[in-house]
Amino acid sequence: MIAKWYKGLFFLIVIFSQVSCKTKVHNKELSNDFEKFLTSSYPYVHKINGFYIVASDEKPQSEDSKRDNTGKEVFEHSVRLFSNFLDQDEDGKVDDGMLPVLDGLKSRFLFASGYQEFVYDVIKAVKKRNKKLYVMTMNTDSWPYVADYNGKGWEVDTLDTSLWRPEDCNALWEEVFHTITEAYNRVDPDFSFSDGPLRTYMDDDIREGSYDISEQNRYEKGQYDRVTAVNEYIHQIWAIQFAGEEAKLNEHQQSTLQFMRDKGVPMQLNPGYSGNLGVRLK
């Protein structure tokens, strides 16, 4: 399937700490001025050990979204996805192997979901307060939110273009995954998108004519760079293995998948995961 929606990555920042499985709203003691800013500015705010997730209350309106959901549902779903990626054994705690990744998340990222105007406002507002934070976004007015997507039940013949996405996919899965792998990129020099194994595997795939990014680059008027392409590439490969279709991956893609496994990238999600790491602040 060729995707009808595309994405970008943006700047932002954070600092703080504490992991918990409580889900009630905690607003009695906000840890610092940045936290006070977030809770006074946005409808929904969650914190996982200093990594912040914020959201608007706007209903998803992408033409590919499948049913009438609320901004709160998108927000709560994003919290569950991040929690499940960090808690693969589902014991209610961040897995030991994911602690460095969580450090990368809290020191370099913030996640925001809402309409494009909302997330742009978040980007600008946070940039004024800390230019080191990278704001990752889920644009709910242009990217599909499919609440019951489970990552399975579809087939793929071959992965040969950056435009491919799973059938009836939920973009929230992809954006949360991108945020996780961006954190890997910040804490592990081997997980570079500009050089190293991941870039080499994708470049070799392109060089052999078995994978294409030129069509998407034309669509984005020359702005689709190979650094961004690597993170898209590894998500596509992850999604294909999740669906049980990894036999369809070529040699370069299989090598990429093995590299991710060796690095401890979470390979599974439980669509029924009900845990919530951290604390709901608003």
DSSP state, residue 121: H
pLDDT digits (tens, 9 = 90+) for 171-223: 999 999 999 999 999 999 999 999 999 999 999 999 999 999 999 999 999 99
Locate all alpha helices (DSSP H) within 131-278, ordered by sequence. 171-187, 197-207, 214-219, 226-242, 251-262
pLDDT given for residue 16 in this prediction:
29
Q: How many residues does the chain have?
A: 282
Q: Which contiguous run of DSSP H or E holds residue 79?
A: helix 71-86
pLDDT given for residue 234 in this prediction:
98
| Alpha carbon distance 179, 166 (integer Å) | 19
| Residue 48 pLDDT grade (very low, low, confident, very high; cuts 50, 70, 90) | very high
DSSP state, residue 2: B
Contact 71, 114 (CB under 8 A): yes
CA 143 to chain centre: 13
pTM (two decimals): 0.89
pLDDT digits (tens, 9 = 90+) for 5-29: 444 433 332 322 333 344 455 544 5
pLDDT given for residue 25 in this prediction:
53
Q: What percent of the chain has pLDDT over 70?
A: 88
More confident residue, 18 or 95: 95
| Alpha carbon distance 47, 32 (integer Å) | 13
| Residue 66 pLDDT grade (very low, low, confident, very high; cuts 50, 70, 90) | low
Does the pLDDT at position 4 exceed 70? no
Question: What are 134's two structure tokens?
Answer: 């990278």
